Amino acid sequence: MDATALESEAQTAIAAARDAGCLEELRVRYLGRKSPLKLALREVRDRETGMALNAARAAIEDAFSKREAALAASAPEHLEPFDVTLPGERVERGRLHLITQIRREIEDVFLGLGYAVFDGPEVDTVFNNFTALNTPEAHPSRDPQDTFYVDGETVLRPHTSPGQIRTMLAQEPPVYVVSLGRVYRRDTPTPRHTPTFHQVECLAVDKGISLADLRGTVEHFFRALFGQEREIRMRTSYFPFTEPSVEFDVTCFLCGGEGCNVCKRSGWIEMGGAGVVDPAVFEAVGYDPEEWSGFAFGLGIERIAMLRHGFPDLRLLWENDLRFARQF
C-alpha cells in the first residue's frame, strides 16, 4: 500500500468536507476498523512499513481534528441545513386547575375589599381547630370517625376556621382576613363529597361589627362570583364559634329563583355557614370581647365550581382527565 498516496487522497477529501456529517463518513472510510489503512496496519511485518503507515495515520487524524475545529468555528455553516418554511413544533400551554382559578378569583374579590390573604397549614393543632373555636369536648366534629388525627393533639384540618385563630393569635385587631385552602374529612368519596376538598374562610374583627356587615359582605362576594342579580338570605343555625349563627343561601343563578334542577326547585342554593364571632373565641386568643366584635363565614370551593359549571360529580375534579380539566 502506498501510504503517501493514501494520505494525500485523505487530506484532499477532508479539506473538501462541508459539514460534520461528511467528516464522519470520511473518518469511517480512512480510519475505520475496515479501512485499507487499518487493515494494512494489522498486516505489518517490518519496521519501515509500520513507521510509514503510522505516520500517514497520524497525519490523517491531525487533518480530521483541524477540519473539525475549522467547521465548528465557521458558524452558521456548521449547522445542518434546514427548511425555514416548515411549520414549528407546537408548544402545549398548560392552564390552572378550575379550583385554583376560583380560589384566585375569590382572593381577588377580598383583596379588593382590603382584606389580607392568610395561608394556614393543613396539619394543625386540636387547639386551633376545635378548642379555641369553642367546640365542646363531646362535639361530633372532634370524633376520630370524622376527623383525621395525626396524634392526640394534631389533626388534618377539617375546616379553614383554624385560620381565624392563627391570625388573631398573631396580630392585634382590627382584622380583615380570608384564608383559603385544602381541608380533610373522613368521608367516603361520593358525587357530592370527597375526603379532601377546599374551603374559604373569612374573618372581620373591628369596633361595632354586626350581622349587617356580614350580610353586606356575603352579598358582595356572591354577586362578584355569580352575577349582580343575586340575592342572599340567612337562616338561623348553630356553630360553636359564632353567636348568633346563620347559614346563607344565594338565589339560583341558573333559574334566577324560579326553581330548577340545580336549586332542587327551591330557587335558593345553600352556600355555607356564618355568624357573629362568639366572645369565647375572642377570649381564647386574648381579644377583649367588650371592645371588639366580628363576623366570620366559611364555605366550600368545590361546591362553587360544581354549581357554576353544572357538572354532576365532584370526583371529576380529582381524576385529572384532561378532557374534563381543559373545559375551564
Among the candidate windows 47-55, 115-123, 189-197, 236-244, which touches ligand DAH by CB under 6 A? 236-244
- CA dist., res. 316 & res. 306, Å (int): 10
Give me the helices (H) in the chain, please. 3-16, 20-31, 36-43, 47-73, 98-112, 126, 162-170, 211-226, 279-285, 301-309, 322-325
* Contact flag: residue 161 with ligand DAH (CB under 6 A): yes
- CA dist., res. 92 & res. 87, Å (int): 15
> What are the backbone angles phi and psi of residue 22, rounded to the nearest 5°?
-60, -45
Asked whether the bond before 189 is cis by omega within 30 degrees of 0, the reply is no
Of 226 and 300, CB closest to ligand DAH? 300
Radius of gyration of the chain (CA): 37
Which listed residue (275, 301, 307, 314) binds ligand DAH by CB under 6 A? 275
Helices 3-16 and 36-43 pack at an angle, to 10 degrees, of 150
* Contact flag: residue 176 with ligand DAH (CB under 6 A): no
Chain centroid to CA 80: how far? 40
Which x/- pattern, by CB under 6 A, does the window 44-83 give for ligand DAH?
----------------------------------------
Chain centroid to CA 257: how far? 35
* Contact flag: residue 163 with ligand DAH (CB under 6 A): no
List binders of ligand DAH among 284-323 (CB under 6 A): 296-298
Among the candidate windows 68-76, 98-106, 165-173, 268-276, which touches ligand DAH by CB under 6 A? 268-276
Instruction: Dig out the grid coordinates for 95 from the structure.
Output: 392552564
Of 14 and 109, CB closest to ligand DAH? 109
* Contact flag: residue 26 with ligand DAH (CB under 6 A): no
179 near 160, Cβ under 8 Å? yes
Dihedral of alpha carbons 27, 31, 37, 39, sign: negative
289 near 271, Cβ under 8 Å? no
**CA count, 13 A, side-chain hemisphere, 174:** 11
Report the alpha-carbon angle 204-174-212, nearest 5: 35
Of 177 and 296, CB closest to ligand DAH? 296
Of 64 and 176, CB closest to ligand DAH? 176
Which listed residue (128, 194, 242, 251) binds ligand DAH by CB under 6 A? 242
Q: How far is the CB of 211 from ligand DAH (least distance, A)?
A: 11
Q: How far is the CB of 159 from ligand DAH (least distance, A)?
A: 3
Which x/- pattern, by CB under 6 A, does the window 211-230 give for ligand DAH?
--------------------
* Contact flag: residue 159 with ligand DAH (CB under 6 A): yes
Of 68 and 107, CB closest to ligand DAH? 107
Of 253 and 300, CB closest to ligand DAH? 300
* Contact flag: residue 239 with ligand DAH (CB under 6 A): yes
Of 64 and 239, CB closest to ligand DAH? 239
Of 35 and 161, CB closest to ligand DAH? 161
Please name which of 271, 159, 292 lies closest in space to residue 219, comparing C-alpha atoms. 271
Site for ligand DAH, rule CB under 6 A: 159, 161, 201, 239, 241-242, 273-275, 296-298
